[in-house]
Chain A
C-alpha cells in the first residue's frame, strides 16, 4: 500500500471550510484513497473514499488531483464536533487492511 503524508496538525475557525491535504505520490492505479477520523479514543469513523473522481457526501468532499498524487478532504462548514484526528489511507482494491498513519490533528476553534 502506498504511503501517505499528512501535516501533523491544523486549526480551523468554526463555520469555515477545513481543507485537509494528503500526499500519496506513490499511489498505484488500483489503490483507493480513504479518509477516516478518530474523535478522542473512539473507533475510527469513515468519512469518504475515492479512486480518481472527486466525491461528495453528506459529511465532506474529496478532491483528488488528476495525477492522483495528492488529495484534499474538505469539511465545508467545520463545527467544534469536527475536532479529531483525520487519517488519509491508501487502500488496495480487494483488501481492507488499513495502514493508519499518524494523521492530521484538526482543531476547530470557536
Chain B
C-alpha cells in the first residue's frame, strides 16, 4: 500500500538553527500539506501546496517557515531560525483530488529544539 514517508523520524536542533523536514508524498498525488502537533495538543494545519505554490496557510505559518518541492518526489518544510516553541511533531500529508479525496498522513518527524 502506498504511503507518505517522512525523514528524519526525530530531529534535535539548537535554537536559532535552520532545520529542513523532508517528506515523500504518494507518487500520483497532487496536493501536499504540513501539519504539526505540539505534545498533548491538537493537530494544527500549517500549509497546503499545489501546482508549485502555496494554496492556503495558517497564521502559524509565518516568515520563518517555507515549503518547497525541489524535485518530482520530495516535499520539504524549512524552519529558518528555530525557537523552543517549534518543538512538535510535524506531519506531512498528500491527497489526490480524485474520487477518493482523503489525505494520507506520514508518521511524522519529532522536532526537538533545545
Tally of chain B residues near chain A (CB < 8 A): 25
Partner pick for B108 among A34, A43, A98, CB 8 A cutoff: A43
Instruction: Convert B24-60 into 0s and 1s, putting 1 for each residue whose CB lies closer than 8 angstroms to a CB of A.
Output: 0000000101010100001111001000000010100
Known: A96-B95, A97-B48, A99-B45. A43 touches B102 (CB 8 A): no
- Chain A interface mostly helix, strand, loop or mixed? loop
Report chain B residues within 8 Å CB of A41.
37, 89, 108, 110
Interface flags for B76-114 (1: CB within 8 Å of A; 0: not) read 000000000000010101010000011111111010000
Q: Which of B45, B102, B103, B106 has the most CB of A within 10 A?
A: B102
Nearest B residue to A32, CB-CB: B101
Complex Cα–Cα for A99 and B42 (A): 9
- When A41-B108, A43-B108 are in contact, do A98 and B103 touch as well, CB less than 8 Å? yes
Q: Mark A55-88, 1 if CB is under 8 A from B, else 0.
A: 0000000000000000000000000000000010
Residues of B within 8 A of A100 (CB): 42-44
Closest to B106 in A: A43
Q: How far is the CA of A41 from the CA of B40 in the complex (A)?
A: 9
A41 to B107, CA, bound (A): 8
Q: Is A107 an interface residue (CB 8 A)?
A: no
Once the chains are docked, how many angstroms separate the CA of A98 from the CA of B91? 13
Minimum CB–CB distance for B40 against chain A, Å:
10
Cβ of A43 and Cβ of B105 under 8 Å apart? yes
B102's contact among A38, A42, A49, by CB below 8 Å, is which? A49
A64 to B43, CA, bound (A): 24
* Complex Cα spacing A33 to B20, Å: 33
Residues A46 and B104 in contact, CB atoms below 8 Å apart: yes
Told that A38-B43, A98-B103 touch, could you supply 11 new A-B pairs with CB distance under 8 A? A41-B89, A41-B108, A42-B108, A43-B93, A46-B103, A49-B102, A96-B33, A96-B95, A100-B42, A100-B44, A101-B42
| Residues of A near any B CB (own CB < 8 A) | 34, 38, 41-46, 49, 87, 95-102
